[in-house]
């Protein structure tokens, strides 16, 4: 969700730009849902899912699901009730500490945060960015030390221009664009645990990657590719939503709703098919194009081709240039979840828009072997897109030039062309439309893959078991033989989110209702952490059947038993996102994004005169404004989180 989405209330992610006739996931999932039961009141009941009685037999089992390889993991805390307070709520026995809110100087001698948002672009570039999102923790040191200090690397997805500038964004200027660019991107910050909790520490590693940082390209769409040539040098990463972490110690920042930054005032400009497929339009809510030709698609048409990629950043080399890894495709990447199988890396990535697809990249050789040859494991491999069949099976379809319909005769010039037009290539091979694919998480033991489908608008080709699907659901699959490089899988629905008061198909207990699952992560013990992003357009509203759900939140599920429990409730107007734990599992970092964003339930929208109209979290200072921040969660007894 972006700031301009709020102004129009409807979330453009809910509007499909996929005109293909591919089978929708709704069509296949309805058949599946009719043959199985889902989790009921903390107990898993009869099911014919892939973890239960066998897929495709058509016989419902009377025995409980086995959830092979997923041992029960007791949840040892008392559930947090749903709430609407302008505060963080965590279970009894836990603490929540605010760390590195937007505007925090990255170095102790850096520019101090100004409560009236009057920091300049240059100052913002030396401070923590706005709207924290996906995040990873890189330990500094081995053993216990690595759980007490590390590099926290986090994305800054977008900016709220009403809150970013003292006078709001009614007038757009080049200086404002520069500050907005500086508030985007990634923060790399050394954090250490002290007697009074975690704090930011001075370090040569501390740095920002912003919308203006020099970047380069690698893979089939290399830096010299004609489609990447523009008036300005390649720079910047934008709308970094979720993330990934490679086994060789780098960070992956994903570019999601990049199209929204581009526009034009040229009335004669019309998007071509490729641009339209990515939602590039003349109107941009940010209006940067009105003062900066870099963002004018009519003036600088190739700049858009530099966005929509997965960006690799080496947090341990402050001088390194971020690299856009083009072999992973060009979509609206939600995240890039990395796992390993037979020594090869596998990267799962959702394309978050209604009616889009889920992809995976499989390395061509063991990653250690490629690294030994000084080749990036992210440059050598095959990108696939998922097809979900209605018998519970699924297959990964290669997006490989010369394979299937992706031939020169059909207008596909080469592999670079396939990747620049990844969405169209996926249309051509017959991928299955999904209901806004967001995060992917891979179970640490049995390697099952879980995917949040956050919600759907109910448009004519709606893509889930419910139409409309305002609450979203979680799908999971098991790759053949538990091998994540495999090209076939068996899938199932883990749960339908929502409120049984309004939708009897929802089998969550009344005290555990939630909507719009988005962030997703496993801890080392195999507990599944679920973070929610209910749109502010419906949050808390009885007339939109979200009154029992409360503010956005985080829950934890035991995939072995199906038990679900609410763990955290965020302040007003926020979403909860970003999931990182220390290796000892005793510190959990999560992000609170866009507290205080315009929320119809709370009435007046924030203005430059009253930025705290919805929330004043975390400062609760009338002279300040709401700020995204990382929250550090610990058990008071120092124990493992969730136990
Ligand atoms: Fe940036 Fe799809 O959430
Ligand atoms: Ca998200
Ligand atoms: Ca979302």
**DSSP-based three-state secondary structure for 172:** coil
Strands, DSSP E only, in 318-470? 323-325, 337-341, 344-350, 354-356, 358-363, 381-388, 393-398, 434-435, 437-442, 449-453
| Per-residue confidence band for 272, with pLDDT thresholds at 50, 70 and 90 | very high
CB contact set of 164 (below 8 Å; sequence gap of 6+) = 117, 130, 176, 179, 180, 183
Closest ligand 1 atom to Cα of 133: 1
pTM across the whole model: 0.93
Q: How far apart (Å, rounded) are the C-alpha atoms in residues 347 and 115?
A: 40
Closest ligand 1 atom to Cα of 256: 1
Tell how far the Cα of 7 is from the centroid of ligand 1, in angstroms.
17
Q: How far apart (Å, rounded) are the C-alpha atoms in residues 202 and 616?
A: 28
Q: How far apart (Å, rounded) are the C-alpha atoms in residues 129 and 401?
A: 39
- Closest to 429 in 3D by CA, of 382, 391, 392: 382
Look at residue 211 and tell me whether its pLDDT is greater than 70. Answer: yes
Calculate mean pLDDT across residues 602-618: 96
> Ligand 1: does its nearest atom lie under 6 Å from the Cβ of 241?
yes
**Residue count (the chain):** 643
Q: How far apart (Å, rounded) are the C-alpha atoms in residues 2 and 352?
A: 13
Task: List the Cα angle 557/436/525 in 5-degree steps.
Answer: 20
Tell how far the Cα of 549 is from the centroid of ligand 3, in angstroms.
16
Cis previous bond, 448, omega within 30: no
- Which bin fits 466, alpha (ψ -120 to 50), beta or left (φ > 0)? beta
Calculate mean pLDDT across residues 197-222: 98
| Per-residue confidence band for 20, with pLDDT thresholds at 50, 70 and 90 | confident
> Ligand 1: does its nearest atom lie under 6 Å from the Cβ of 334?
yes
Structure tokens at 529: 């952490």
3-state helix, strand, coil in the chain (%, to 5): 15, 30, 55
Helix (H) or strand (E) holding 293: none
Tell how far the Cα of 187 is from the centroid of ligand 1, in angstroms.
18
**What are the CA-CA distances from residue 577 to residues 7, 134, 239, 395, 574 (Å)?**
22, 6, 14, 30, 9
Calculate mean pLDDT across residues 520-544: 97
- The predicted structure's pLDDT at residue 563: 92
- The predicted structure's pLDDT at residue 54: 28
Calculate mean pLDDT across residues 405-428: 98
Strands, DSSP E only, in 144-230? 149-156, 185-194, 197-201, 207-209, 216-218
> Ligand 1: does its nearest atom lie under 6 Å from the Cβ of 11?
no
Half-sphere exposure of 417 (CA within 13 A, CB side): 10
Half-sphere exposure of 607 (CA within 13 A, CB side): 4
Q: How far apart (Å, rounded) are the C-alpha atoms in residues 486 and 492?
A: 17
- The predicted structure's pLDDT at residue 19: 78
**Each residue of 325-377: pLDDT tens digit?**
999 999 999 999 999 999 999 999 999 999 999 999 999 999 999 999 999 99
DSSP-assigned letter for residue 375: -
> Ligand 1: does its nearest atom lie under 6 Å from the Cβ of 438?
yes
Structure tokens at 12: 């453009």
| Per-residue confidence band for 406, with pLDDT thresholds at 50, 70 and 90 | very high
Q: How far apart (Å, rounded) are the C-alpha atoms in residues 643 and 59?
A: 37
**Each residue of 285-305: pLDDT tens digit?**
999 999 999 999 999 999 999
> Ligand 1: does its nearest atom lie under 6 Å from the Cβ of 14?
no
- Closest to 154 in 3D by CA, of 105, 115, 209, 111: 209
How many C-beta atoms surround the C-beta of residue 394 within 10 A?
A: 23
Tell how far the Cα of 232 is from the centroid of ligand 1, in angstroms.
28
Contact 545, 59 (CB under 8 A): no
Tell how far the Cα of 1 is from the centroid of ligand 1, in angstroms.
6
**What are the CA-CA distances from residue 143 to residues 150, 582, 601 (Å)?**
12, 11, 47
- Closest to 496 in 3D by CA, of 468, 535, 538, 524: 468
Ligand 1 atom 1: the closest Cα is on which residue? 241
Helix (H) or strand (E) holding 425: helix 422-429
Nearest ligand (C-alpha, residue 534): 3
Q: Domain segments of the chain: what residues?
A: 12-256+308-635
| Per-residue confidence band for 59, with pLDDT thresholds at 50, 70 and 90 | very low
Pairing of strands 449-453, 517-522: unpaired
- The predicted structure's pLDDT at residue 74: 74
Q: What percent of the chain has pLDDT over 90?
A: 84
Look at residue 536 and tell me whether its pLDDT is greater than 80. Answer: yes
Calculate mean pLDDT across residues 208-218: 98
Q: How far apart (Å, rounded) are the C-alpha atoms in residues 448 and 490?
A: 10
Q: How far apart (Å, rounded) are the C-alpha atoms in residues 304 and 284?
A: 13
| Per-residue confidence band for 40, with pLDDT thresholds at 50, 70 and 90 | very low
- The predicted structure's pLDDT at residue 538: 96
Q: How far apart (Å, rounded) are the C-alpha atoms in residues 623 and 536?
A: 24
Tell how far the Cα of 476 is from the centroid of ligand 2, in angstroms.
18
Q: How far apart (Å, rounded) are the C-alpha atoms in residues 548 and 95?
A: 25
Closest ligand 1 atom to Cα of 436: 2
Find the farthest-apart pair of alpha carbons in the chain and give their distance in angstroms, rounded.
Answer: 67
Radius of gyration of the chain (CA): 23
| Per-residue confidence band for 26, with pLDDT thresholds at 50, 70 and 90 | very low
Look at residue 561 and tell me whether its pLDDT is greater than 60. Answer: yes
| Per-residue confidence band for 18, with pLDDT thresholds at 50, 70 and 90 | confident
Nearest ligand (C-alpha, residue 516): 3
Q: How far apart (Å, rounded) are the C-alpha atoms in residues 322 and 216?
A: 6
Contact 473, 493 (CB under 8 A): yes
> Ligand 1: does its nearest atom lie under 6 Å from the Cβ of 183?
no
Helix (H) or strand (E) holding 460: none
How many C-beta atoms surround the C-beta of residue 81 within 10 A?
A: 10
Look at residue 503 and tell me whether its pLDDT is greater than 70. Answer: yes
CATH architecture of 12-256+308-635: 6 Propeller (2.120)
Q: Nearest 5°: phi and psi at 375?
A: -110, 145
Closest ligand 1 atom to Cα of 332: 2
> Ligand 1: does its nearest atom lie under 6 Å from the Cβ of 255?
no
Contact 455, 435 (CB under 8 A): yes
- The predicted structure's pLDDT at residue 36: 39
**Each residue of 183-196: pLDDT tens digit?**
999 999 999 999 99
Structure tokens at 362: 């499989």
Calculate mean pLDDT across residues 179-185: 99
Tell how far the Cα of 454 is from the centroid of ligand 1, in angstroms.
9
How many C-beta atoms surround the C-beta of residue 10 within 10 A?
A: 12
Q: What residues have their beta carbon closer than 5 A to ion ligand 2?
A: 518
């Amino acid at each position: 969700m972006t700031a301009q989405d709020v102004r129009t209330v409807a979330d453009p992610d809910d509007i499909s730009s996929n005109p293909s006739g591919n089978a929708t996931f709704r069509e296949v999932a309805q058949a599946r849902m009719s043959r199985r039961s889902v989790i009921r009141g903390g107990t898993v009941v009869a099911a014919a899912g892939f973890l239960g009685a066998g897929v495709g037999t058509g016989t419902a089992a009377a025995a409980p699901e086995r959830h092979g390889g997923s041992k029960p993991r007791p949840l040892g805390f008392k559930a947090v009730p749903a709430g609407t307070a302008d505060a963080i709520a965590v279970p009894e026995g836990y603490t929540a500490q605010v760390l590195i809110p937007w505007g925090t100087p990255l170095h102790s001698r850096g520019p101090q945060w100004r409560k009236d948002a009057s920091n300049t672009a240059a100052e913002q570039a030396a401070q923590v960015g706005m709207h924290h999102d996906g995040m990873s923790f890189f330990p500094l040191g081995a053993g216990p030390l690595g759980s007490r200090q590390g590099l926290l690397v986090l994305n800054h997805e977008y900016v709220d221009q009403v809150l970013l500038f003292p006078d709001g964004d009614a007038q757009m200027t080049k200086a404002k664009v520069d500050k907005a660019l500086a508030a985007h991107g990634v923060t790399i910050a050394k954090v250490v645990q002290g007697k009074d909790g975690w704090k930011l520490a001075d370090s040569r590693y501390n740095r920002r990657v912003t919308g203006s940082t020099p970047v380069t390209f690698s893979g089939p769409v290399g830096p010299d590719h004609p489609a990447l040539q523009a008036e300005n040098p390649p720079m910047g990463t934008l709308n970094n939503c979720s993330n990934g972490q490679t086994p060789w110690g780098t960070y992956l920042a994903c570019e999601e709703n990049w199209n929204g930054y581009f526009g034009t005032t040229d009335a004669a400009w019309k998007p071509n098919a490729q641009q339209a497929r990515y939602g590039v339009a003349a109107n941009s809510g940010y209006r940067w194009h009105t003062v900066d030709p870099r963002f004018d698609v009519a003036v600088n048409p190739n700049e858009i081709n530099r966005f929509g990629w997965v960006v690799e950043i080496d947090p341990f080399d402050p001088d390194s240039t971020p690299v856009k890894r083009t072999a992973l495709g060009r979509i609206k990447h939600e995240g890039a979840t990395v796992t390993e199988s037979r020594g090869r890396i596998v990267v799962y990535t959702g394309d978050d828009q209604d009616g889009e697809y889920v992809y995976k990249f499989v390395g061509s050789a063991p990653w250690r072997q490629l690294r030994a040859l000084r080749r990036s494991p992210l440059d050598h491999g095959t990108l696939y897109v998922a097809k979900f069949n209605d018998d519970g099976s699924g297959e990964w379809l290669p997006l490989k030039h010369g394979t299937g319909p992706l031939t020169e005769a059909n207008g596909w010039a080469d592999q670079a062309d396939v990747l620049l037009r990844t969405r169209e290539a996926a249309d051509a091979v017959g991928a299955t439309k999904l209901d806004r694919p967001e995060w992917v998480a891979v179970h640490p033991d049995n390697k099952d893959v879980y995917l949040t489908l956050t919600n759907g608008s109910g448009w004519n080709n709606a893509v889930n078991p419910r139409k409309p699907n305002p609450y979203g659901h979680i799908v999971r699959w098991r790759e053949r033989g538990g091998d994540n490089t495999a090209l076939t899988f068996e899938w199932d629905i883990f749960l339908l989110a929502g409120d049984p008061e309004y939708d009897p198909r929802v089998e969550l207990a009344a005290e555990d209702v939630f909507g719009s699952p988005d962030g997703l992560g496993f801890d080392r013990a195999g507990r599944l952490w679920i973070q929610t992003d209910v749109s502010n357009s419906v949050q808390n509203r009885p007339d939109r059947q979200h009154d029992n759900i409360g503010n956005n939140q985080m829950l934890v599920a035991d995939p072995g038993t199906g038990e679900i429990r609410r763990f955290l409730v965020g302040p007003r107007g926020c979403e909860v996102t970003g999931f990182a734990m220390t290796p000892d599992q005793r510190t959990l970092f999560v992000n609170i994004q866009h507290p205080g964003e315009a929320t119809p339930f709370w009435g007046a929208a924030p203005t430059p005169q009253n930025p705290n109209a919805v929330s004043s979290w975390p400062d609760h200072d009338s002279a300040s404004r709401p700020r995204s921040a990382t929250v550090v969660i610990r058990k008071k007894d120092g124990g493992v989180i969730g136990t």
